[in-house]
Amino acid sequence: CTMQVKFSDGSDEEMTSGTYVSATEIICTTPSFESYGAVRLLVKVALGSEVFTVRNIWYSYYDDTKASNCIAFGPALQRLECGRLSRFVIQAKDTTATSRKSGTDQFVCQLSPLETPKVVSSECTVIDHDNGLYTVNVIAPATGAFKISVKLSEHHIRGSPFDVNVQSALEQVRLSGTPPENLDKIQTIRTVDGLLCFK
């Protein structure tokens, strides 16, 4: 059974034929909306000479993601601690620099040493949130100067590669100030907002 399927943005519309499969499924080839741009469309169907359906079903056309428009941000792009998990976020953007609202982009991220070829490069884990955002997990294998490259289809995103300094996690534990009195009577040492507290 052949049906008519209409894609409309309210002012412009394109028609195509569809094939009835079941009470809940119609198969059709989407028409080209390239001349109208990336828009959200209302889809309606009609059987033969019958009127089009009134129920709203939405379909979105989108521009492809462009690597040079994509951005990345987060603590892992500033500094890393050796052996500890850190993260940053990629925001996918299309050819018009508009933030993407869907996923499936194949970003490839790698952490590589700048001047220590003996250190093995580390692949980063990319998590697709299916909304245009991607979380990247990074674990540095050694201390020193590294770079993080982020590519899409072999093209670097904006700012890539990023230079990062990997420090030892032990460097974060530093004591300063006047020690408390009666050290031999201290029973508990804990941290509050990064400060050592004695009890």
Q: Is the pLDDT of residue 77 over 70?
A: yes
Q: Is 115 helix (H, G, I), strand (E, B) or coil?
A: coil
pLDDT tier at 93 (50, 70, 90 boundaries)?
A: very high
Least confident of 5-9, 48-52, 131-135, 154-158: 48-52
Kindly report, residue by residue over 21-32, the tens digit of the pLDDT. Answer: 888 888 999 888
For 153, residues 6+ apart whose C-beta sits below 8 A from its C-beta are 67, 106
Radius of gyration of the chain (CA): 27
pLDDT tier for residue 20 given thresholds of 50, 70 and 90: confident
CB 20 within 8 A of CB 4: no
The most confident of the ranges 18-22, 95-99, 116-120, 125-129 is 125-129
Residue 188 has what pLDDT? 53
Judged by average pLDDT, the poorest of 85-89, 155-159, 162-166, 189-193 is 189-193
Q: What residues form DSSP beta bridges with 137?
A: 87, 125
User: What share of the chain has pLDDT > 90, as a percent?
Assistant: 42
Q: How many whole angstroms separate alpha carbon 198 and alpha carbon 177? A: 13
Does the pLDDT value for residue 187 go beyond 70? no
Distance CA 101, CA 21 (A): 29
